[in-house]
Structure 1
Amino acid sequence: MSLLNVSDQTFQETLDKNNLVLVDFWAPWCGPCKMQSPILDQLTEEAGEAVTIAKINVDDNPETASKFGVMSIPTLKLFKNGSEVKTMVGVQSLQTLKELVNQNQ
């Protein structure tokens, strides 16, 4: 599995190239986003090739955040085969994220 930093320009390509993508909509000034980041790092290590994690800075990439209706951060969205299947707002636990990945493989 990999952790990618994506932009408005590379977002769709990332969805198209990967079966299961967990997208973290975040910003550097966001305290809860800073809490979510190490959890995503741990998920990267533990989930193997099951999911690709993509991080998108909403300040630098407002087009994608707007397209997907992101109003609060962190927002995590799971995409399967390019289609959105789940949205979670706020910090999510490692266990919650692992269960989500396992349910959608």
Structure 2
Amino acid sequence: MTVTLKDFYADWCGPCKTQDPILEEIEDDRGDSFEIEKINVDEEQDVANEYQVRSLPTLIVENDDGIVERFVGVTQRDDIESALDQAGA
């Protein structure tokens, strides 16, 4: 099963900069079990619209079956990891 964490962000977004180190820690510890896909909403508006992203940062955990969890705003490591576990990462 493929598990992907989509990180919707923008360079001007302060909370996104707060989210980055949390994601980097998880990737360092568990990076083999899932992929992080960083999506700059200013450059990829079509993808942001497809996922109905209205606020930043937005994190979407998905697997082969579709979206497992969506987080809006800065999200703590425990919450992200439990969603990854739920998705099968």
User: Could you say which residue in structure 2 is the equivalent of 1:44?
Assistant: 27
The runs of 5 or more residues in structure 1 that have no matched partner are: 1-17
Using the size of structure 1 for normalisation, the TM-score is 0.78
Using the size of structure 2 for normalisation, the TM-score is 0.92
Structure 1 residue runs of 4 or more that deviate by more than 3 Å after TM superposition: none
Displacement after TM superposition at 1:82 (Å): 5.9
Displacement after TM superposition at 1:48 (Å): 3.7
User: Could you say which residue in structure 2 is the equivalent of 1:77?
Assistant: 60
- CA distance in structure 2 between the aligned counterparts of 1:48 and 1:66, rounded to whole angstroms: 27
Query: 1:21-40, aligned counterparts within 5 Å?
Result: 21-40=4-23
- CA distance in structure 2 between the aligned counterparts of 1:35 and 1:60, rounded to whole angstroms: 20
User: Could you say which residue in structure 2 is the equivalent of 1:103?
Assistant: 86
- CA distance in structure 2 between the aligned counterparts of 1:67 and 1:86, rounded to whole angstroms: 16
Q: Does 1:53 align with 2:36?
A: yes
The runs of 5 or more residues in structure 2 that have no matched partner are: none
- CA distance in structure 2 between the aligned counterparts of 1:26 and 1:48, rounded to whole angstroms: 20
- CA distance in structure 1 between the aligned counterparts of 2:83 and 2:68, rounded to whole angstroms: 10
